[in-house]
A and B are shown apart, each in its own frame.
Chain A
Amino acid sequence: MMFLAVDWPSILSFALVGFLLVVVMLVLLVFIMKAMGAAFVSHKKAQPVEKHELREEEIAAIATALKLYKSSRHDKESEVITIHQIKRAYSPWNSKIHGLTQMPDYRK
């Protein structure tokens, strides 16, 4: 009885129209997002790199050139990083006695 009391044309119309509206709105968003994506991707499209196999001699030559170039840009160093001693030369600038509040002298 409850089944028959329902206003079926109205219920079915609401359901169909409601679902179609959801679909239409999200399809619209698909197009908008595709357009946005296309705008961003087209800017970024990199030129295809031509494939070219390097021979072993060429690779060795490039590596040597790079090694020589980098060596020439750097001073020779001992490559020893151990700290043997620390020089703490006295200076009034690093003197602790000038940085701390003096204790008042106690006078009898």
Chain B
Amino acid sequence: MINFLSANILDSLVDFVGQMGFTVGDWGNYVMIAVSFLLMYLAIVKKYEPMLMLTIAFGMLLTNLPGANMFHSELFAGGHVHWDIFVNNAGLLDYLYLGVKLGIYPCLIFLGVGAMTDFGPLIANPKSFLLGAAAQVGIFLTFIGASALGFTEAQSASIGIIGGADGPTAIYLTSKLAPELLGPIAVAAYSYMALVPVIQPPIMRLLTTDSERKIRMTQLRPVSKKEKIIFPIIITVIVTLLLPSAAPLIGCLMFGNLMKECGVVERLSKTVQNELMNIVVIFLGITVGATATAEAFINWQTLGILVMGIVAFACGSAGGVLLAKLMNLFIKDPAKKINPLIGSAGVSAVPMAARVSQDEGRKYDPSNFLLMHAMGPNVAGVVGSAVAAGILLAFFG
């Protein structure tokens, strides 16, 4: 009897030890765990986009802990949700990932972004839309570069959108076009967004002269409340009629902004700016991090994505600066000249890119205030990158 019991216990113990993560993991898991630690360090100590970087890093940690079984990439293989096996096999992160897979989280984030954005500088100076458009050149140049590296068209489009410097847009487009690259693309997009103050200034200095950096721009006209209310409605109608595939992003962005500007739904506006936004950031970050499994992350493709991502950022910044210089050639009135430093703010990344323009401008003329002028292209960049995502989705979706 005692021998029988001890044999049973021994078998159970062997099974128990066999289920331990130490015995089922491979080197790839441990490399990814080390990468997640590095990202946590960057988020906590260096404060690189901590809101998303920390959650992405922790999602990455959870998905790579051997035996945790919280995320199963096979349930989403081939770009589809395999509903037939979903309920029996899904872990917590699989359920949460449905919000990314179905394109819900990025749109909800856009709702909050819209409610936090003041489009006043863009309404006061609509020419800022041109700078926002020029900065999207990085997306399409990177699309060409990624195709040259052997990525498919859909994958190249997803890599190119990193140049839009807009995390939710990048996640939305990638989840539709190339879900297998979601992890590396999200990490690259948010890393480079955090590095905007490092990446942009050398490009801005390289492409501008000393006198151009000192250009003072005339003060923007005041924008009435009525204009601010009509703006999101007009943009939603026009963009959606012209480009229906951009409707989820533009619609949510503008709805959030309308809630803020109309002033009659204060509670809803505050909710989307704070509680809803924070909840979605947690879900989005942790599930996007969960897609960065060892087999999806440790390969040459990830290296290619990281390289092409920085190219996209650099080209986008340069595109905005160069267009501002070009526009100055046609502006005869010296008082209406554009300081080319605000062109780089066209790469979305609100409000970091605008702050970089302001800081660079003040280095050459401490009494020159470019921030409000740079906010125009900056918010135009958000609209521009959403339009670019809609176009790529219409081409390759």
Contacts and interface: CB of A to CB of B under 8 A. Distances in A.
Contacts of B332: none
B35 interface: no
A41 B239 CA distance: 24
Interface stretch (A14-22, A48-56, A80-88, A99-107): A14-22
Nearest to B380: A26
A29 B383 contact: yes
A14 B177 CA distance: 15
Contact of A26 (B143, B227, B387): B387
Nearest to A15: B140
A18 B388 contact: yes
B391 interface: yes
Contacts of A93: none
Given A6-B148, A11-B153, A18-B140, A29 B126 contact: yes
B391 A11 contact: no
Interface in A1-57: 2-3, 5-6, 11-12, 14-16, 18-19, 21-23, 25-30, 32-34, 36-37, 40-41, 44
A31 to B, nearest CB: 8
Question: What interface size band does chain A fall in?
Answer: 20 to 34
Given A33-B126, A37-B123, A22 B133 contact: yes
Main secondary structure of the interface of A (DSSP, over half): helix
Given A18-B392, A19-B137, A40-B226, A26 B150 contact: no
Contacts of A33: 122-123, 126, 129, 231
Interface of B: 122-124, 126-127, 129-130, 132-134, 136-137, 139-141, 143-144, 147-150, 153, 156, 221, 224, 226-227, 230-231, 234-235, 238-239, 242-243, 380, 383-384, 387-388, 391-392, 395
12 contacts: A2-B148, A3-B148, A5-B150, A14-B153, A15-B140, A19-B140, A23-B133, A26-B129, A26-B380, A30-B129, A33-B122, A36-B230
